[in-house]
Amino acid sequence: MNRDRLIQTFQELVSIDSPSFGERAMADELTRRLKSLGFTVSEDNAGEYYGGTAGNLYGYRDGRIPGEPLLFSTHMDTVEPSRGKKAVLHEDGRITSDGTTVLGADCMAGTAAILEALAELEEEQADCRSLELLFFIGEEKHLRGSAVFDYAKVRAKESYILDLSGPVGTAANQAPTLVDFQITVHGKAAHAGFAPEEGVHAVAAAARAVARMELGHVGKNMTVNIGHIEGGVKATNIVPDTCFLMGEIRSYSHEQALEEMKKIEALFREEAEKAGGSCEVHSTVPIHAYQVPEEHAGVLRFRRACERLKLPGTLNPTFGGSDQSNLSLHGISGLVLSSAMEQVHSCSEFTTVSGLETAAELVKLLMQDRD
Ligand SMILES: [Zn+2]
């Protein structure tokens, strides 16, 4: 790997402001770089759809090694605080922000690794697979970019998403279904002193339902949380007529998550009706569970590459979503690779020069794999 070029690429990418739905400058920079590497690049209209400045980027390049194209992907957006990011290289090889913003190693470490792998292949005139690249917008906003991409144009059946914390050489092959829900319990307002018996206490009904819920780990495969609750008006003398709650369910089993949602809905209905009120329940399923088996070609390729680099090649489940969750829904299965990013979503986020190099080497070997 060309260490200086890799560091420079990473620093340049990090210096570009690319908040969610404000990815224009990043999309332009990546388009320029990919075209100079011989890719045909197209951008979809996901930006217009969400009122953002750029769409998802798709790149394709033919390769001389036969086989289906392989898909590599990261996301273009970074979480806040993200404006004016600077990648500061320290003597010990760590790269941090200046402390006032995130670094943006999530997801620019993986992006830089892909670009460096491609640059090396180009320099060596080395053979590689046909390649498809996807750089998504709005990943940090519930995977919205990858949720609306038109996958009909993707030929790859196997993908590698470079968007995971932890040492390079580990990967996630399983992710959960996530159910987000909002519940409004409706009661009836009344004067709390003169005629409380005429009211229906929405907060009390909601509280009874929450007290009956199983929260935290529910069995081995699922978690349930109520993350927010508010009710009534800011007065002490009124029986509150509404109570609003937000929560989530995560499970490696899609069916189990949906089943749990039904249970929670029934529980709130029961308590609301018992009190003489009613309730509304809305739920969405932004990510669907998937699992890539150990014998999957994409896993075997990952293990081969890790062996050559003397990396562990460990597979772990993750309890978070990634763009892979949306790819899996469209028949593209693959791994989320650790990509040299640590303490992400914080101002102490960092990467290391050696981590970036190893990630680039791994990507290069995957791109050159002959199955
Ligand atoms: Zn990310």
pLDDT tens digits along 99-117: 999 999 999 999 999 999 9
Closest residue by Cα to residue 267 from 275, 199, 250 = 275
Closest residue by Cα to residue 85 from 100, 95, 65, 64 = 100
Residue 253: which residues within 8 A CB-CB, separation 6 or more? 177, 221, 222, 289
Residue 310: which residues within 8 A CB-CB, separation 6 or more? none
How far is residue 351 from each of residues 15, 92, 101, 318, measured CA to CA in Å? 15, 11, 14, 20
% residues pLDDT > 70 (the chain): 100
Residue 280 has φ and ψ, to the nearest 5°, of: -115, 135
% residues pLDDT > 90 (the chain): 99
Spacing, Cα 176 to ligand 1 middle (Å): 16
Residues with CB under 5 A from ligand 1 (ion): 106-107, 163
Spacing, Cα 326 to ligand 1 middle (Å): 14
Please tell me whether residues 99 and 25 are part of one structural domain: yes
Please tell me whether residues 339 and 252 are part of one structural domain: no
* Structural domain count, the chain: 2
Residue 261 belongs to a domain with what CATH number? 3.30.70.360
Does the pLDDT value for residue 306 go beyond 90? yes
Q: What is the model's pLDDT at position 371?
A: 81
Does the pLDDT value for residue 227 go beyond 90? yes
State which of 287, 302, 337 marks the end of a domain: 287
State which of 251, 268, 287 marks the end of a domain: 287
pTM (2 d.p.): 0.91
CA-based torsion, 5, 6, 11, 13: positive or negative: positive
Q: What is the model's pLDDT at position 75?
A: 98
Report the relative pairing of strands 177-186 and 242-251 from DSSP bridges: antiparallel
Q: For the purposes of burial, counting CB atoms within 10 Å of the CB of 213, is it exposed (0-12), middle (13-18) or buried (19 or more)? A: middle
Q: What is the model's pLDDT at position 357?
A: 98
Supply the mean pLDDT for the chain: 97
Please tell me whether residues 136 and 203 are part of one structural domain: no
Q: What is the model's pLDDT at position 241?
A: 98
Active site residues: 77, 139
Spacing, Cα 140 to ligand 1 middle (Å): 7
Task: Report, as an integer, the average pLDDT of 71-77.
Answer: 98
Q: What is the model's pLDDT at position 260?
A: 98
Please tell me whether residues 344 and 326 are part of one structural domain: yes
Residue 316 belongs to a domain with what CATH number? 3.40.630.10
Task: Report, as an integer, the average pLDDT of 230-252.
Answer: 97
Does the pLDDT value for residue 157 go beyond 90? yes
The amino acid occupying position 180 is D
Domain that holds residue 229: 177-287
Does the pLDDT value for residue 222 go beyond 90? yes
Q: What is the model's pLDDT at position 1?
A: 84
Task: Report, as an integer, the average pLDDT of 151-158.
Answer: 96
Cα end-to-end distance, the chain, whole Å: 23
How far is residue 128 from each of residues 237, 365, 370, measured CA to CA in Å? 72, 9, 9
pLDDT band at residue 35 using 50, 70 and 90 as cut-offs: very high
> With contact defined as beta carbons under 8 Å apart, do 3 and 97 qualify?
no
Spacing, Cα 303 to ligand 1 middle (Å): 23
For the chain, give the number of residues: 371
Q: What is the model's pLDDT at position 261?
A: 98
Please tell me whether residues 198 and 337 are part of one structural domain: no
Please tell me whether residues 21 and 159 are part of one structural domain: yes
Q: What is the model's pLDDT at position 155?
A: 97
Counting Cα atoms < 13 Å in the Cβ hemisphere of 368 gives 18
State which of 255, 272, 287 marks the end of a domain: 287
Spacing, Cα 163 to ligand 1 middle (Å): 5
Please tell me whether residues 89 and 146 are part of one structural domain: yes
The amino acid occupying position 195 is A
